[in-house]
Amino acid sequence: MAVPDFQSLMLPILQIIGDDAEWKNADIRQALTEKLALTEEDINELLPSGNNKRFNNRAAWAIVYLARAGLAERPGRGRVMISDEGRAVLADPPERITIAFLMKYPGMQEFRKKGAKPDPKPEPTGDSPEEILEANYSQIRDTLVADLLDQVKKCSPQFFENLVIDVLVAMGYGGSRVDAARAVGKPGDGGIDGIIKEDRLGLDQVYVQAKRWENNVGRPVVQAFAGSLEGFRARKGIMITTSSFTRDAEEYVTQIEKRIILIDGETLAEHMIDHGVGVSETARYVLHKIDTDYFEEQ
């Protein structure tokens, strides 16, 4: 089964700690996996950022909300146990504990007021606050990728060439920008738009072809680029396009000995964002979480 939303985890967690024992967070998660019959795939699923497991994140937030409402207590570092209020809930349990259910407790009311707008509303999706933040970030980023790619497609060939240089240098290729500009700025020769250093020392070279295609780039075009590499006795190449590559083209580069990286329009825009090319930072948010290992007492 899929990992339940964090509100759906609150009642099972309360039932687990209902034995009046002190529980470690890791032990609660282990008991949850058994109680809910979660698979390894379920518990190892990552959030979109890849920085945390979805199951761990939801279980942690469920514990936070239970503690804030007063249904659970933290008797020591990294420990959780049921409270008198929690026992009262288990004596006549609801079908599901939700934020709306917890809002009748003063502790939850105070918690939800902090930093919130008046009349705070429960999360309708059941996602944890961190998941909601990540989803909103992903949506903003996807919109930026689309807008950025549209802008790139409107630029002149010369500007696109300079853009490619900026991205490659920002990613660590080409040595200095002057070196990269000299290399990529030369007229195309034998299907090659430029030759850049793989690193600042120039221990190896990478051959580049960057074109503003409107249609999808198919295998014949990529195969021709591979043939051009052969003519230069080159082993590595980067092909960049503002459109996309066909499946045949993507499969082809995995079957040949030469190492060719295909960068389509969306991937190019992603690299521009990640390396600060053509974009400016408007805000930065750093999320912290409690280091439970720090609070473990032997």
Query: For residues 240 and 169, what is the distance between their CA atoms, to the nearest angstrom?
Result: 14
Query: For residues 98 and 60, what is the distance between their CA atoms, to the nearest angstrom?
Result: 15
The residue behind tokens 């809910």 is 36
Mean pLDDT of 152-172: 85
| Report for 59-73, 117-131, 158-172, 177-191: range of highest mean pLDDT | 59-73
In the chain, which residues fall in CATH 1.10.10? Answer: 10-127
Band of residue 122 on the pLDDT scale cut at 50, 70, 90: very low
Helices assigned H by DSSP within 155-231: 157-170, 177-184, 219-231
Of the candidates 271, 237, 73, 241, the one whose C-alpha atom is nearest the C-alpha of residue 169 is 271
Q: Cα–Cα–Cα angle for 105, 76, 30, nearest 5°?
A: 85
User: 131 and 61 in contact (C-beta within 8 Å)?
Assistant: no
At 274 the pLDDT is 93
Of 76 and 21, more confident: 21
Would you say residue 226 has pLDDT above 70?
yes
In the chain, which residues fall in CATH 3.40.1350.10? Answer: 146-274
Lowest mean pLDDT among 69-83, 91-105, 127-141, 206-220: 127-141
How far lies 215's CA from each of 119, 150, 242, 243, in Å? 51, 14, 9, 6
At 296 the pLDDT is 64
What is the CATH T-level fold of the domain 146-274, as seen in this structure?
Trna Endonuclease; Chain: A, domain 1 (3.40.1350)
Mean pLDDT of 205-228: 88
Band of residue 104 on the pLDDT scale cut at 50, 70, 90: very high
Would you say residue 293 has pLDDT above 80?
no
CATH 1.10.150 is held by the domain 10-127: no
Band of residue 120 on the pLDDT scale cut at 50, 70, 90: very low
Would you say residue 57 has pLDDT above 80?
yes
